Amino acid sequence: MAKNYPKRIVSLVPSQTELLYDLGLGDRVVGISKFCVHPFEWFRSKEKVGGTKTILINNLRKLKPDLVIANKEENEREQIEEIAQFCPVHTTDVKNVQDALAMIIELGELTGTQAAAAELRTQIEQHLAAVKVDGPPKRAAYLIWRSPIMVAGGDTFVNDMLKHAGYVNIFADMTRYPSLSAAELAEANPECILLSSEPYPFQEKHIAEFAEICPNATIRLVDGELYSWYGSRMLEFEP
């Protein structure tokens, strides 16, 4: 391993923590966020440095990292700027699958795991190309929060994954994760409502609630990690 590759990495992004594991970085990752739940062996054993938006900067500093991996959407800009004063920070900005694939190559180059990153990228491309969708695209709303109702807009990674799953995001003309009233959701008249398992933990009991708002919609629970984790988790994606 070349001397200039980082040896003490802290990841503040759950999907990228899992990616670092799959790139084979092992003991070189010394800290993660409390939301980095995959792989479980790292969640159980690695030092935690707070939440993605509530980083315990003093705890992070004690780990003496030589690289911190952050994300523009996941982490708070002010905290990342503070960390950058004492440690190199690589901040990713992933809004679609192509961004995610480029990010995987970037992290491979940063960490000296280029071959593993290139192989992983190829595997993901092949997997997504093989995903089968039945019938024409369905008009869908992807909900990430219950009160207020919040949906995925068009400039999100979720929006691109919806396309791969055979959906058309009816809120693609909105940015980030806008809030809606129940009346606005009803007026949009989605064919499908997808209730994500994260960040709000939608459950079976919530289906009836949204069936009252949109009685003609098909409502289903979906695994939020499959739609929003832009790393090696894409290998498991299915509609």
pLDDT at 200: 97
Q: What is the pLDDT of residue 2?
A: 46
- Superfamily classification of domain 9-94: Nitrogenase molybdenum iron protein domain (3.40.50.1980)
For the chain, what are the domain ranges? 9-94, 138-236
Q: What is the pLDDT, as a whole number, of residue 134?
A: 86
- For the range 97-102, what are the long-range contacts, defined as Cβ-Cβ under 8 Å and sequence gap of 24 or more? 97/128, 97/157, 97/160, 97/161, 97/164, 97/230, 97/234, 99/157, 99/230, 100/124, 100/157, 100/230, 100/231, 100/234, 101/125
* Alpha helices for 131-214 (secondary structure H): 157-164, 182-188, 207-213
Mean pLDDT by 10 residues, the chain (239 residues): 82 98 97 97 97 97 98 96 97 97 98 98 97 93 98 97 97 97 98 97 97 97 97 95
pLDDT of residue 3: 62
Do 155 and 142 touch, CB atoms closer than 8 A?
no
CATH code of domain 138-236: 3.40.50.1980
Is pTM beyond 0.85? Reply is yes
